[in-house]
Amino acid sequence: MQHLIDTDDLTDVQIEAILNDAARFKRRRPPALLRDKLLITLFFEPSTRTRSSFEVAAKRLGAAVVHLDPSRSSTKKGESLEDTFANLCAMEPDGVIVRHSRNETPRELAAMKMVPVINAGAGNYAHPSQALLDLFTMKEYFGDLRGKKIAIVGDIVNSRVASSGIRLFTRMGMEVKLVAPEPFMPQSDLPKYEHLEAVLDDVDVVMSLRAQLERHSKPIFDDYGAYAKHYCIDKARLGARDILLLHPGPVMRNIDISDEMLSDPRCKVLEQVRNGVFVRMAILKLLLLDS
Ligand code: ASP
């Protein structure tokens, strides 16, 4: 039984297969490969893109999807997460897609060995489908990513997108630079910078991240306007540089990225969302059909 808790659950061959299948699905919509399959989505944290993207991906492949809203489920009556999960598995779905604020939850559910578990975001630990769609988006633009340089900018320490991205991008031979004010900077051996200006002449990609306010136990900055003066990606800062701009969403406009840059052709935010569906189709195919 294959799970996807983080991308290190995948072999290089499997990652290659996901990227190739996603590219194929983008060129031509595939037949209903998962016609007889059923997926359950179980999201304990809010989601706009990831949940709908998995649902669209599953439906495009002909699978059925059932969504359980934990805020209206027996979790509210005191049922444990493990019991809720076991009860859902008793209905024999082909996979459960889970999002939770705890880093360990998807792996613990996978260890119950009941159905394939797909991590759709766990705490600040991992968001593998986002890392794969970011990889796909960069690969589509550059071809070979070996030696390409990416600056990850913002609340890196609290971001599961950054955690998964750092592991996957370095594995793929990219150079990762971290740009953040001290409270947002994780412990890391990667090169660290406080100022964006120090890296902009030496990167191919900038990935901007929002402040993960829901994970701050107390406010870190009172004034995100002042933060934006240093970290917002705007035209004045980027100039004419040929840099690909990524963000996993939701974008805090004019704090993470300026309105003007959001409509600049170098900004691939909506392309990431579009690619996310094809990449998740490829993930579902791999886990439910090919493994
Ligand atoms: N949507 C991404 C996540 O779930 C990024 C974010 O929320 O900032 O981690």
Residue range 180-200, pLDDT digits in tens: 999 999 999 999 999 999 999
Task: Check if 210 has its Cβ closer than 6 Å to any atom of ligand 1.
Answer: yes
Sign of CA dihedral 132, 137, 140, 146: negative
Give the predicted TM-score (pTM) of the model: 0.97
Q: Report the candidate in 56, 91, 118 with the shortest Cα–Cα distance to residue 277.
A: 56
Fold of 128-269: Rossmann fold (3.40.50)
What separation in Å is there between the alpha carbon of 46 and the centre of ligand 1? Answer: 9
Please state which architecture CATH assigns to domain 7-126+273-290: 3-Layer(aba) Sandwich (3.40)
pLDDT tens, residue by residue, 124-156: 999 999 999 999 999 999 999 999 999 999 999
Which of ligand 1's atoms lies nearest the C-alpha of 159? 9
Atom of ligand 1 nearest to the CA of 48: 1
For residue 24, give every residue at least 6 positions away whose Cβ sits within 8 Å of its Cβ, in sequence order, or none: 30
99 Cβ closer than 6 Å to some ligand 1 atom: no
Residue ranges of the domains in the chain? 7-126+273-290, 128-269
- pLDDT tier for residue 28 given thresholds of 50, 70 and 90: very high
Q: Is 121 in the pocket of ligand 1 (CB under 6 A)?
A: yes
Atom of ligand 1 nearest to the CA of 121: 4
Token pair listed for 244: 């690909």
Q: How far is the CA of 227 from the centre of ligand 1 (A)?
A: 19
Q: Which residues have CB under 8 Å from 82's CB, separation 6+?
A: 108, 109, 112
